Amino acid sequence: MENLNETILAVVLDVVQEKSPEIEAVRPDQMLVEDLGLRSLDLARIIAKLEMKLDVDPFAELVAVTSIRTSGDLSAAYAKCFSTDEEPAPEAANRPRPPRAGLASQRELRQKARGEQSQ
Amino acid sequence: MKTKKESMTAERQVAIVSGGSRGLGRAIVADLLRRDMIVATFSRSKTPFIEQRLAADPQAESFHWASIDGADPQALAGFARDVLRRYGRIDALVNNMAVTGDGLLTMIRDADIHAQVSINLESAIFLTRACLKGMLPQGSGSIVNISSVNALRGHAGVSIYSATKAALIGLTKSLAVEVGPAGIRINCVAPGYFDSDMTSGFTDDQRARIARRTPLRRLGTVEDIANLIWFLLSPEAEFITAQVIAVDGGFVG
């Protein structure tokens, strides 16, 4: 599991550093959007990179991608692919949930669409 | 530091062409191979062209073919994954696979409507999504969707075909905006009437009438279309995305 977490953090850092080279490390509890400045396309790139490395896509069926707010959420999602236990991991289930970045980015898209329509 | 164009030409580029066993797809496959790309394609069964290419390249160094059902999203995703594993990258995708179904809308069978929507549109969407999973990590890629002049000008008897081909234009324009920031380009080619299996049944009178209505006074060739596809896939077109280009001798004006 530690290797999985490290792999995920390394991929997240890789994408984060393309935009913010000054960031030297990322933590599992940091918000991908609010803290690390990622956008939905960046998350899509992270997931594509992880699918190439891990050969699984938890967002095809197991997990809603809109539930992903942190690197820790990503770890919990990928852990489900490698687990035979159908219950969610306790730490993922019990952790207090911060505001949903996935929904925020969808809200951004809706606002943008409304703005363009009103022009 | 290498420029984007230099890095794109540093190693052999890998292209997926849907429906590459016959017709226009076959011509596109042959053209991209001639231009030293690695080309992967699929169809339900082998044609003489596929058998010839496989025999010429038994190690699949430049040409890969698989027998899959092009209407099966899982099979399409699996094909793209297999290409990624074999060659390590996907640089180009040509969504060429299509079926036609002539007839007035009220007289078309339900199954024929579903088949056209499934193959012409849904399969292009699923294959594009699968290939993007290879292109996004690379930060580069070029996709060409084969639309049709029927998407640009109405013709009786091809409403479903036209609808699916027009939908590819919508897919192209929105997806180009979506993945442009990741260095991926998407364009549409809209062929007019050209010499192919689809026009082989035309009478001489029909062909002459089409030529008369075409400013350049002839039907197109598969080479006319393949040349544009190559240009759009190549680094020469690295600032072109979200475009629809008709190859029709001026037919739609």
Burial class (CB in 10 A: 0-12, 13-18, 19+), B107: exposed
> Which of B136, B140, B177, B179 is the best residue to mutate to test the A interface, defined by the most A CB atoms within 10 Å of its own CB?
B136
The number of CA neighbours under 13 Å toward the Cβ of B92 is: 29
Closest Cα of chain A to B180: distance in Å?
10
- How confident is the model at residue A93, as a pLDDT? 43
Instruction: Specify whether the CB–CB gap between A44 and B129 falls below 8 A.
Output: no
- Looking at B38-181, which runs of residues are DSSP E strands? 38-43, 63-67, 92-95, 141-146
pLDDT class of B102 with cuts at 50, 70, 90: confident
Per-residue confidence in pLDDT tens, chain A, 119 aa:
568 999 999 999 999 999 999 999 999 999 999 999 999 999 999 999 999 899 899 998 888 888 999 999 999 999 988 876 655 544 444 444 444 444 344 444 445 445 544 33
Q: Which fold has domain B4-247?
A: Rossmann fold (3.40.50)
Instruction: Specify whether the CB–CB gap between B168 and B151 falls below 8 A.
Output: yes
A residues 33-72 near B, CB within 8 Å?
A: 41, 44-45, 48-49, 51-52
pLDDT tens-digit series, residues B31-67: 999 999 999 999 999 999 999 999 999 999 999 999 9
User: In angstroms, rounded to a whole number, what is the distance separating the alpha carbons of residues B106 and A23?
Assistant: 61
- How confident is the model at residue A86, as a pLDDT? 53
User: In angstroms, rounded to a whole number, what is the distance separating the alpha carbons of residues B165 and B169?
Assistant: 7
> Is the CB of residue B173 less than 8 Å away from at least one CB of chain A?
no
Stretch among A82-86, B91-95, B225-229 having the lowest mean pLDDT: A82-86
Can you spell out the DSSP letters for B191-230?
A: E-SBSSGGGTT--HHHHHHHHHHSTTSS-B-HHHHHHHHH
**Partner residues linked to A41 by β-bridges:** none
- How confident is the model at residue A103, as a pLDDT? 38
More confident residue, B115 or A117: B115
SS3 assignment, position B142: strand
- How confident is the model at residue A111, as a pLDDT? 52
Q: Residue A48: which of B137, B178, B181 has the nearest Cβ?
A: B137
Work out the average pLDDT over B6-23: 82
Query: Closest-CA residue in chain B for A12?
Result: B137
Share of chain B above pLDDT 70, in %: 96
CA B121, chain centre distance (Å)? 12
The residues near B130 (Cβ < 8 Å, ≥ 6 apart) are B76, B77, B79, B80, B81
- How confident is the model at residue A60, as a pLDDT? 85
CA distances, A24 to each of A7, A83, B60, B74 (Å): 15, 31, 42, 38
B residues 47-76 near A, CB within 8 Å?
A: none
Q: What ipTM was assigned to the predicted interfaces of this complex?
A: 0.81
Q: What is the dihedral of CA A70, A75, A77, A78, to 10 degrees?
A: 140
Work out the average pLDDT over B78-101: 95
Share of chain B above pLDDT 90, in %: 89
Closest Cα of chain B to A106: distance in Å?
13
User: In angstroms, rounded to a whole number, what is the distance separating the alpha carbons of residues B85 and B230?
Assistant: 24
CATH number where A109 lies: 1.10.1200.10
Stretch among B122-136, B195-209, B211-225 having the lowest mean pLDDT: B195-209
pLDDT class of B198 with cuts at 50, 70, 90: confident
> Is the CB of residue B155 less than 8 Å away from at least one CB of chain A?
no
- How confident is the model at residue B9, as a pLDDT? 47
> Is the CB of residue B130 less than 8 Å away from at least one CB of chain A?
no
Report the DSSP pairing between strands B14-18 and B141-146: unpaired
CA distances, B164 to each of A99, B74, B89, B108, B152 (Å): 39, 21, 29, 15, 12
Q: Which of A77, A46, A76 is nearest to A61 (CA)?
A: A77
- Full domain range(s) for residue A52: 2-118
Q: Do B134 and A41 touch (CB under 8 A)?
A: no
